[in-house]
Amino acid sequence: MEFLQSLIFIILPSFFSTLHLLKLIFRPKENCCYMLNYECYKATDDRKSDTESMVRVVLRNKNYGWEQYRFLFRTMINSGIGGDSYVPKIVMDRKEENPTLSDSLEEIDDLFFQTLDNLFSKSKVSPQEIDILVVNVSLLSPVPSLTARIINRYKMRPDLKVYNLSGMGCSASLIAIDIVKDMFKVYKRKFAIVVSTESLGANWYCGNDNSMMLSNCLFRSGGCSMLFTNNPDFKNRAILKLSHMVRTHLGSNDEAYECCIQVEDDKGYLGFRLTKKLPKAAAKALTMNFEVLLPKILPIWEFVRYFLVYMWRGEKKGTMGLNLKSGVEHFCIHPGGRAVIDGVGKSLALTDHDVEPARMTLHRFGNTSAGGLWYVLGYMEAKQRLKKGDRILMISLGAGFKCNNCVWEVLRDLKDPNVWEDCIEKYPVKIIENPYNEKYGWINEEYVSFIRVEDCVFAS
């Protein structure tokens, strides 16, 4: 009898421990971050940046002389942006020098509510079911907050967890998703919304500092709203699953901190300064980020191969870099500009096919700041490149200076044409022709240097 009792005391704890362990192993993982849907913004055709519209915007600035005209048109010609991207309504309405708060809020509301209405409709999830809301707009922070405007519009629940991000720059979208990921570790079976965009119209630079005029040439209206969940019951409806996220911040480095910064010029005009130190800061941030991320996503044999090749060839004779395609199939690069895309593509030894989505996004929509990555993803989906099991590496760079990268797993074949529906058939364009070169390329000729701008009459 004593032996039987002893046996029971030994077996029962072992049985329940084993049962608990099996439950932990086989229970659905509720700390996963699934993306159910995303919806990119598309403005009306009357806001397209066709040649004549953009020239009128440039010519009405009385602070410009020949040197500024030459710089702007040269930048436009080499930007990689076509004539179908969207200019802020404030600029098209000729209000860029004296925008009001109402103008800024109207611009933001248009994007917020168009993308959210479509997102709720497509996902069959009501606003009252949302548990977490994260909004990132770097250059606009009113009171009440932008998140409060969304809550008021959709009459969302009072227990909603709310985060309003500002000043995060072009990489803010992944920062917002990282917050959602961390929240999902605490709150189970929840829905989260991320809204990512920028307030451009009220921050249009009206001075004549070349380093600050660049932003007017590159940035265009755009943004995205996204729906996430950690509820395993919705896994079959999800399109992507977040696998890894790594964030790198070089704010402690003075050059990196100042290479992409909002300042006033010597005449008091507020704008965004992009310096020549930016490529160096971006390269350093990307390298440091990859030192953490790549061991998580590349197979061990790829590091062994790299080490053997390095030892064989030696540092002086050059080395073969890590093959990122051993760990991911697609590359979603922030469409910050032609130099950014080409620089990242070259450093990672990517093919034209790999960087095509970013280049074509830049051409069609321009640099839409934090929302840009999702237009790139939309291009891949519209081209039906994304198949179940594929992995996508998202690379984002932004002010601070920051590099935030993540990897997504595709959960089913994706083929929604989304915002690319009316134009995807004509992409990729083989030669990216710039609409400004043919009509206004003459302005860079030396023979016009002696002409006074005030004596000229341009077509309007």
Task: Write out the catalytic residue numbers.
Answer: 170, 249, 330, 334, 363, 367
At 164 the three-state DSSP class reads strand
Using a 10 angstrom Cβ sphere, with 0-12 exposed, 13-18 middle and 19 or more buried, the burial of residue 275 is middle
Cis ω for the linkage preceding 73 (within 30 of 0): no
CA distance linking residue 224 with residue 409, whole number of Å: 20
Three-state DSSP state, 34: strand
CB-CB contact of 241 with 210 (8 Å): no
Torsion sign across C-alpha atoms 244, 387, 412, 224: positive
Distance of CA 457 to the CA centre of its chain: 40
H/E segment holding residue 73: helix 66-78
Q: Count H helices and E strands in the chain, helices first.
A: 15, 11
Q: Which amino acid is at 453?
A: V
Angular region, 2: left φ>0, alpha ψ -120 to 50, beta rest: alpha
Q: How far apart (Å, rounded) are the C-alpha atoms in residues 185 and 286?
A: 27
Q: For residues 460 and 225, what is the distance between their CA atoms, to the nearest angstrom?
A: 37
Q: Distances from the Cα of 27 to the Cαs of 32, 164, 183, 347, in angstroms?
A: 12, 34, 20, 42
Stated as kind and residue range, the H or E segment containing 150 is helix 146-154
> From residue 10, how far is each of 1, 4, 16, 17, 353 by CA, in Å?
14, 10, 11, 11, 62
Please give the angle made by the CA atoms of 380, 117 and 375, to the nearest 5 degrees: 20
Cβ atoms of 205 and 272 within 8 Å: the answer is yes
What is the strand order of the sheet 391-398 is part of? 161-165, 132-137, 191-197, 223-229, 34-40, 240-249, 402-410, 391-398, 330-333
CA-nearest of 45, 60, 55, 101 to 77 is: 55
